[in-house]
C-alpha cells in the first residue's frame, strides 16, 4: 500500500507540472525557460531594435502639434455585439470585432489615414502587492495596463496588418489601484469567473461604451506616441502606440480578481493563477517619443548646468548673483 501511495502521489505531482512544449512562449512567472529572454529564439523580431514596451521619459519627449484630439466613432455607444471574453492562458481578452462594420473606429490624432477599427482589448497585471503595467511613465509603473488593439482598415486581417509598420494602433491605458471599485470594469470582472479554464471563451450578456474605460475628455488630450511592436511573440514592429498620461482608477478587489485567473501550461485540476504577465521594458534606441500639445514634458537640464550651479553657489558666498537666460 505504501508503494501504491507513492505512485499515486507521483502521478498527482506530475499532472501539475508545466506543460509548455518546445516552440511555445510564456512569462517568467509561468516558466523561465520560455520567458521573455527566450522569445527571440522562436520569434526573431522579439530581438529587434524597435520593441515595446518602453519607459516614457518625460525629459526626452518632444511636443508635436499634429497630435490633435482623437476622433472616436461608436465609443460612446453600447454596440449590438456580441462581444466575447476569453482566457487565452496569457491574458484575458475582450473580443469586440464582429465584422467590418462593427462601428468602433478611431482616426485623427496623427494616425495615418483612413482609420483604425477596434479588434480586442486585453490586460496586463502583476503579482499581489506588485505593479504590473507594461509601460512606465517617467519610471513609474502602475497596477495594471489595458491595451485596446485596432487594425488599419486598409488591411484585411490581423495577419496582414502585422506585416506593416502602420498596421496596428494600440491605445495603452494605465490602471491605478484604489480602494473603491470602478463600476465601469464590473462587466469584465464579473465575467472572469466564466473563463476560469485557459482556452475558454464565453459571450458577454451585454456590451457597454468603450469610452467608459478611457480617461475623461481632458485626459484624452494628454498622450504620448511612438512606433513600436507587439509585446508578445511574434513581436512584429507594426504598432503605433498611444500611451495616455492620465491613469484610470480600478478597485483593489478588482485587481485581485485578475490575479486569480488560471494560467496556461499547467496540467491538472487546479492550475496556478496567472500573474506578472508583462514584458520587461525594452531599449528606446534612436526612436522619438512624441507628446500631444496638452501632455506633460520635462525640460532637459541645459549642458553644463551642474557647473553653473557650482559657480552660482560660489558667487552667493561673495554676496553676488548669477542670472542665466534661456531662449524660450
Query: Catalytic amino acids?
Result: 90, 155
Beta-ladder partners of 169: 150, 240
Does an H or E element contain 251, and which? strand 248-251
Q: Which three cell numbers stand for residue 176?
A: 491605478
Does an H or E element contain 312, and which? helix 305-317
Instruction: Report how far residue 161's alpha carbon sits from residue 15's, in angstroms, rounded to the nearest whole number.
Output: 39
DSSP 317: H
Cβ atoms of 79 and 315 within 8 Å: the answer is: no
| Main-chain dihedrals φ then ψ at residue 239, nearest 5 degrees | -115, 130
Place of cell 485596432: 150
The radius of gyration computed from the CA coordinates of the chain, to the nearest angstrom, equals 23
Instruction: Report how far residue 27's alpha carbon sits from residue 89's, in angstroms, rounded to the nearest whole number.
Output: 11
Beta-ladder partners of 227: 240
According to DSSP H, which parts of 150-210 are helical?
158-161, 186-191
Instruction: Report how far residue 194's alpha carbon sits from residue 200's, in angstroms, rounded to the nearest whole number.
Output: 8
What residues contact residue 156 under an 8 Å CB cut-off, 6+ apart?
none
Cβ atoms of 45 and 234 within 8 Å: the answer is: yes
Report the alpha-carbon angle 32-38-41, nearest 5: 150
Cβ atoms within 10 Å, residue 316: 11
Amino acid at each position: 500500500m505504501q508503494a501504491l501511495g507513492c505512485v499515486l502521489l507521483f502521478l498527482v505531482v506530475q499532472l501539475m507540472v508545466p506543460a509548455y512544449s518546445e516552440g511555445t512562449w510564456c512569462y517568467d512567472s509561468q516558466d523561465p525557460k520560455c520567458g521573455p529572454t527566450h522569445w527571440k529564439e522562436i520569434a526573431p523580431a522579439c530581438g529587434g531594435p524597435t520593441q515595446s514596451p518602453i519607459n516614457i521619459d518625460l525629459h526626452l519627449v518632444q511636443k508635436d502639434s499634429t497630435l490633435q484630439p482623437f476622433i472616436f466613432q461608436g465609443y460612446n455607444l453600447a454596440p449590438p455585439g456580441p462581444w466575447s471574453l476569453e482566457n487565452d492562458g496569457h491574458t484575458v481578452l475582450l473580443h469586440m470585432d464582429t465584422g467590418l462594420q462593427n462601428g468602433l473606429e478611431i482616426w485623427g490624432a496623427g494616425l495615418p489615414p483612413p482609420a483604425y477599427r477596434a479588434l480586442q482589448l486585453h490586460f496586463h497585471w502583476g503579482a499581489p502587492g506588485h505593479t504590473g503595467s507594461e509601460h512606465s511613465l517617467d519610471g513609474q509603473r502602475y497596477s495594471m495596463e489595458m491595451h485596446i488593439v485596432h487594425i488599419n482598415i486598409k488591411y484585411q486581417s490581423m495577419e496582414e496588418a502585422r506585416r506593416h509598420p502602420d498596421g496596428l494602433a494600440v491605445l495603452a491605458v494605465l490602471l491605478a489601484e484604489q480602494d473603491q471599485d470602478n463600476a465601469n470594469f464590473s462587466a469584465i470582472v464579473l465575467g472572469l469567473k466564466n473563463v476560469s479554464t485557459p482556452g475558454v471563451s464565453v459571450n458577454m450578456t451585454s456590451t457597454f461604451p468603450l469610452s467608459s474605460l478611457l480617461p475623461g475628455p481632458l485626459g484624452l488630450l494628454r498622450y504620448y506616441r511612438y512606433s513600436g511592436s507587439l509585446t508578445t511573440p511574434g513581436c512584429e514592429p507594426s504598432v503605433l502606440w498611444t500611451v495616455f498620461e492620465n491613469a484610470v482608477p480600478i478597485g483593489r478587489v478588482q485587481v485581485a480578481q485578475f490575479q486569480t485567473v488560471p494560467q496556461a501550461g499547467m496540467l491538472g485540476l487546479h492550475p496556478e493563477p496567472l500573474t506578472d504577465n508583462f514584458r520587461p521594458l525594452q531599449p528606446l534606441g534612436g526612436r522619438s517619443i512624441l507628446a500631444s500639445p496638452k501632455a506633460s514634458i520635462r525640460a532637459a537640464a541645459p549642458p553644463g548646468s551642474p557647473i553653473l550651479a557650482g559657480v552660482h553657489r560660489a558667487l552667493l558666498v561673495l554676496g553676488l548673483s548669477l542670472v542665466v537666460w534661456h531662449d524660450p
